[in-house]
Amino acid sequence: MSKAVEKFQTWIESFPQDIAAMQKVVDNDKVPLAARRYATAGLNYLLQRLDIIPDSQPATGILDDAFVLRVAALLASEHDVSAAGTEALTTCSRLSNDTDLIRDFFGDDIFKKLRLYTERLAEAEVRRRRPDSILSDDKIRKAFFAEVSDEVRHFLPAPQVKDADAIERELKSYFKAKLASI
């Protein structure tokens, strides 16, 4: 199994904890609004019906979510997220650092497109909610977190990567095709 795909398997396994840490960033009013907006966008992507890879695809269906979450953490960490607490800050930093592997795996061109795609999610509407409405209304945010938690349960138990070469081909094919117009 390639080193990248081995690491991606650990991202699948840590996905619920990564989501919980990003929720702490979203839910903390001391974190700058821009950072919270990107964290919200990364979580909101989980609820999007037509994402880069359909969630019905074993392993790769969760990996596109994990990649977007990491790029959202990178964008959030460009602002001060330290107010979210040590655990959330550590996770946000780790997720952000993981984007180096995403860049190495896909190359600069696809990574730049993925970053732009993720930046645009900060303005995207999913299930009639934009990140700003989630951040500005406690009731909407509570419902949003409940939906995110429900979505994460669909990925449990964590799928196992069985054919690393096939996973690599599938990831690169989907991302190249879906991000081509960006």
pLDDT recorded at residue 20: 92
pLDDT recorded at residue 81: 83
pLDDT recorded at residue 30: 87
pTM of the full structure: 0.95
Flag residues of the chain having pLDDT under 70: 1
Residue 94 CB neighbours (<10 A): 14
pLDDT recorded at residue 2: 84
pLDDT recorded at residue 73: 96
pLDDT recorded at residue 162: 86
Q: In whole angstroms, what is the distance from residue 156 CA to residue 151 CA?
A: 10
H-run or E-run covering 24: helix 3-26
pLDDT recorded at residue 1: 54
Per residue, the 3-state secondary structure of 146-170, as one string, reads HHHHHHHHCCCCCCCCCCHHHHHHH
| Spatial CA neighbour of 42 closest among 102, 90, 111, 114 | 114
